[in-house]
Amino acid sequence: MVIPVHDVNPVRRTPWVTYALIAASVFVFLTTPGIAGSVAGGSDLAQLCHLQAFVDHYAAVPRELIHHQMLRLVPTGDVGVGPQGPGCVVAPPGYDKSPPLSVFTAMFLHGSWLHLLGNMLFLLIFGNNVEDRMGHIRFFLFYVVCGYAAGYGFALLNATSGEPLIGASGAIAGVLGAYIVLWPKARVWVLVPFLIFLPLRLPAWLVLGFWFVLQAVYSSGHAVTGAGTVAYAAHVVGFLAGMLLAWPLKPGTPPAPEPRGLLFGRRARPRHTW
């Protein structure tokens, strides 16, 4: 994967919703029970069980979304000892959970710093322009709709799965889909890992198109979620939803500036300013 670091596409107004979504995601991550020990690799079994119970409570679970009912057994957060040794206790849920609402809460949950920072990087780079084009309220609604499309799309493809689905990736994929429709020729600074990180300035259609193709390829055989796995199918659905919703805005969208010069290293910087 290439790593985007900046796009050459100025905005007219401050992207307050984008900043608020990033702040909320970071806040939820830092206050998630047991996440600190899990990330540091020093959490004990009690912390892991507490974390698992919290995630299952607020994450979107495909089987719950499709059948609109909670799982029969869920982690309680307690530690018990079974035939195979100590583990996390599961029991009938002692709380009420709205499966549709869980899609929204799951958008703010992340399982690791890498998961969080990767999502927030893409949202920061590409979300500000989409928000600038749509306006604050419409952008927030767009973000949520893409997240729901990704969540339910993934659930339809994995209707029997009881694994929790977390992360803002589906909604952010929608942002990427909107960006590639509205500014396909905008230049994006990326770092390409090739022995060292090579700085390149590439058109958005190439950067985001390559990202989408990778998600589609991976989803063909790895459309699952859970610890250590990625819900690639949710990315594909979110991206397509974002493209579809942004298409009516394309005719009135001013084009991004097209810098001149080479597309590599320092000489890739524009020869004039805006």
DSSP string, 55-102: HHHHSB-HHHHHHTS--S-EEEEEEEEETTEEEEEEES-SS---HHHH
- Confidence band of 260 (pLDDT split at 50, 70, 90): low
Q: How far is CA 84 from CA 45, 50, 80, 87, 88, in A?
A: 14, 20, 11, 8, 12
Three-state DSSP at 199 gives strand
What is the domain-level CATH number for residue 161? 1.20.1540.10
What would the two tokens of residue 115 be? Answer: 């998961």
Do residues 149 and 220 make contact, with C-beta atoms less than 8 angstroms apart? no
Inside any domain, residue 151? yes
What's residue 24's pLDDT?
A: 97
Inside any domain, residue 63? no
Task: Give the range of the structural domain holding residue 204, as residue numbers without chain letter.
Answer: 3-33+97-249
How many residues are listed for the chain in this entry? Answer: 274
**Mean pLDDT, range 98-102, rounded to an integer:** 94
Inside any domain, residue 29? yes
Inside any domain, residue 72? no
Do residues 218 and 155 make contact, with C-beta atoms less than 8 angstroms apart? no
Inside any domain, residue 255? no
What's residue 36's pLDDT?
A: 59
Nearest to 77 by CA among 95, 103, 60, 101: 95
Inside any domain, residue 114? yes
* Torsion (CA) 221, 224, 225, 227 in degrees, nearest 10: -60
Cα 230 to Cα 25: distance, rounded to the nearest angstrom: 18
Cα 262 to Cα 111: distance, rounded to the nearest angstrom: 39
pLDDT of 228 > 50? The answer is no
Contacts of 56 (CB under 8 A, 6+ apart): 71, 74, 75, 164
Q: Which long-range contacts (CB under 8 A, 24 or more apart) does 212-215 make?
A: 212/176, 212/177, 212/180, 212/236, 212/239, 214/1, 215/173, 215/239
| pLDDT, averaged across the chain | 87
What's residue 43's pLDDT?
A: 62
What's residue 257's pLDDT?
A: 83
pTM: 0.87
pLDDT of 147 > 70? The answer is yes
Secondary structure (DSSP) of 111-169: SSHHHHHHHHHHHHHHHHHHHHHH-HHHHHHHHHHHHHHHHHHHHHHTTT--S-B-SSH
Inside any domain, residue 185? yes
**Mean pLDDT, range 143-163, rounded to an integer:** 95
Q: How far is CA 32 from CA 24, 29, 44, 144, 186, in A?
A: 12, 5, 15, 21, 37
Between 244 and 191, name the one with better pLDDT: 244
User: Looking at 69-73, 88-92, 106-110, 270-274, which range is the least confident one?
Assistant: 270-274
What's residue 107's pLDDT?
A: 97
Q: Which helix (H) or strand (E) holds 254?
A: none
* Burial (0-12, 13-18, 19+ Cβ within 10 Å), 274: exposed
What's residue 106's pLDDT?
A: 96
Inside any domain, residue 41? no
User: Looking at 106-120, 138-152, 173-187, 214-228, which range is the least confident one?
Assistant: 214-228
Do residues 181 and 256 make contact, with C-beta atoms less than 8 angstroms apart? no
Number of domain units in the chain: 1
